[in-house]
Structure 1
Amino acid sequence: MKKENSRRDAVRKMLVAGAGVALAPVAGFSAGTSSSENLNMKGNINHAVCRWTYGHLPLEELCAAAKQIGIKAIDLVGPKDWEVLKKYGLDSSMCNGAEINLVDGFCEPKFHDTLIKNYTEMIPLVAKAGYKNLICFSGNRRGMDDETGLKNSVQGLKKILPLAEKHGVVITMELLNSRVDHTDYMCDRSAWGVELCKRLGTANFKLLFDIYHMQIDEGDIMRSIQKNHQYFGHYHTGGNPGRNEIDESQELYYPAIMKAIVATGFKGYVAQEFIPSASDKIASLRKAVQLCDV
């Protein structure tokens, strides 16, 4: 399995490729029962899947498969591809396209001008399309301590949050591990992210609690969810170690984690962000949704 740079590479390729790939004709995507019948969903979890982990498929094919499984949304899709999602009746559960990249973020003031411009342009587009969540990143420390990173992030984010509040858009910062995949990333602990939320003091800024990443950097996943759920606006999955399927081959027990999320009253999306390693990748997605549908 490729390390986390596979996500960076996938996102970069999608930004470059634009809508051309997304509008490719739908191909056959595993004909068996394992991937062609709707699951009988319980309705407690709103299921989504991250676009980049299925970047080997044209977007239309992924949308068709998602609809057949019963998935409601696709994560990490930008404006060029929103019409494809709408064609299939799918939500853009976590919009992207305003960020610079994963390492140049709000904790570093020299990026603020670019970020403020990008988010000022993107926030109204997200709202006009009928979507809610827009991702952002802290970026790397570059020798910076936690307190300086918090102050810098507050300074930059406060320049865009009034616009987000006006349009009903939630700016969502992702928690990423710095131990394995994102060396030097600032927002690598839920405590740092929660403190940022408290200082900003608005319902229009939340955290994306990535279960895979936080298992690596802090563990104690269910307690973190129970304690800080009011600051978590979105969840990502992934098997640890390896970031592959979330089945019995890895250490996290997702049914219990999903029950902990449901117990908080969470009504947002849980997006599958594992990198499928099996030959039938859609079957892996179906099984993951099944495991998480509690």
Structure 2
Amino acid sequence: MSLSLCYQISVINHSVSRWCFASTPLPILCQKCHELGISGLDLLTLDEIPIAQENGIECAITAAHPDKNGVGTIEQGFNQLAHHVALHAIYEKLIPAAADLGVKQVICFSGNRDGLSDEAGLENCAVGLAPLIPLAKNHGVTLVMELLNSKVDHPDYQCDHTAWGVALCEKLSTDHFKLLYDIYHMHIMEGNVIRTIKDHHQHISHYHTAGVPGRNEFDATQELNYAAISSAIANTDYVGYIGQEYIPTTDDPFEFLPRAIDLCSG
């Protein structure tokens, strides 16, 4: 079976994280996406979204738009009460701006613990996010918090286990707050990827990929079986995107991308 046919019958929507191909001009990246049956780009800024759309590619989820003090970055998120005023100012602009561009998902982060217990951080996140939920609902937007590992890439990040993220989803109890389940990050933190997806898929609205170890291409030298994982995702009747977020190691950064899409086509 040809790769092109695999793309045509796949039940998975495919996207690529912009930052992994940052050296490629956005219009050229969009052209590559078209060639490979990729319909979305992840983590675009508000300025980049119209460029992608003009080239026939949708923004699957926005980038973060932190303020000049770094509030809104991975490290400075909703788990600190002191950040809430600034975060509300950011997202009160970002949510309607994304909606005006037709984007349905806006990323957000817990922030680092900085000594907070998981219980306190969870409560603070709920307090900070709750006032934004009506705005998100009114604009048809979902706030999506990314699960990241704190062992290797993001030391001290609080939303570093699926159970913590699920508890926050249950506390907020809304379809307008979900999780970005990063397969690479959560394999490092807890493993058991397929079981976790089966048990908690209702709280997940986006997925990211990368190889373990290294966060690079996920070929036969890697631990994760993306064909099995994408099949498990497809079996949950998932209708969102699987976003490729591996860091290319080859001279041609697109060399592995056709294989990545094939492996992640459910």
- Determine if the TM-score, normalized by the shorter chain, exceeds 0.5: yes
Q: Which residue of 1 aligns with 2:10?
A: 43
Stretches of structure 2 lacking an aligned partner (at least 5 in a row): 67-71
Q: Which residue of 2 aligns with 1:95?
A: 62
CA distance in 1, matches of 2:244, 2:220: 16
- Map of 1:84 onto structure 2: 51
**How far apart, CA to CA, are the structure 2 residues paired with 1:131 and 1:212?**
25
For residues 166-245 of structure 1, what are the structure 2 equivalents within 5 Å? Answer: 166-245=138-217
Q: Deviations over 1:131-162 (max 9, x none)?
A: 10000000000010011001100000012111
Counterpart CA distance in 2 for 1:167 and 1:257 is 32
Q: What is the one-letter code of the residue matched to 2:35?
A: Q
Corresponding residue to 2:253 among 265, 281, 284? 281
Contact 2:64/2:73 (CA < 8 Å) preserved in 1? no
Using structure 2 for the length normalisation, give the TM-score: 0.95
- The alignment partner of 2:128 has SS state of helix
Quote the residue 1:117 is aligned against: 89
**Secondary structure in 2 matching 1:275:** coil
Tell me which residue corresponds to 1:75. Answer: 42
Is 2:110–2:125's contact at 8 Å kept on the other side of the alignment? Answer: yes
Decide whether the 8 Å contact of 2:142 with 2:176 is kept in 1.
yes
Q: Which amino acid aligns with 1:96?
A: A
Q: Residues 107-146 of structure 1: matches in 2 within 5 Å?
A: 107-146=79-118
* Alignment counterpart, residue 27 of structure 2, candidates 60, 68, 71: 60
Question: Is 54-63 or 163-172 further displaced after alignment?
Answer: 54-63
**What is the CA distance between 1:240 and its match in structure 2?**
0.3
RMSD value, Cα: 1.3
Letter in 2 for 1:192: W
Q: Once structures 1 and 2 are overlaid, which stretch shifts more, 201-210 or 280-289?
A: 280-289
Shift of 1:98: 3.3
Quote the sequence identity (%): 45
Distance 2:148 2:251 in 1: 28
CA contact (8 A) 1:67 1:88 kept: no
Aligned equivalents of 2:65, 2:86: Cα separation in 1: 9
Match in the other structure for 1:13? none
State the partner residue of 1:152.
124
Contact 2:211 2:222 (8 Å CA) reproduced: yes
Q: 1:38 offset after TM fit, Å?
A: 4.8
User: After superposition, what is the alpha-carbon deviation per residue over 1:46-99, rounded to whole angstroms, capped at 9, x for unaligned?
Assistant: 000000000111111111111111100000001101111111211100112334
Q: Could you tell me how far apart the structure 1 residues matched to 2:191 and 2:252 are?
A: 30
Does the Cα contact within 8 Å between 2:6 and 2:265 map onto a contact in 1? no
The number of aligned residues is: 259
- Correspondence for 1:256 among 228, 232, 241: 228
Q: Which SS does the other structure have where 2:106 is aligned?
A: strand
More displaced, 89-98 or 45-54? 89-98
* 1:95 alignment partner AA: T
Write out per-residue CA displacement over residues 240-286 of structure 1, whole angstroms, 9 at most, x where no aligned residue.
Answer: 00000011121000000000000101000000000011222212112
Give the deviation of 1:165 after TM superposition.
Answer: 0.7
Q: TM-score, normalised by structure 1?
A: 0.86
The answer for unaligned runs of 5 or more in structure 1 is: 1-36
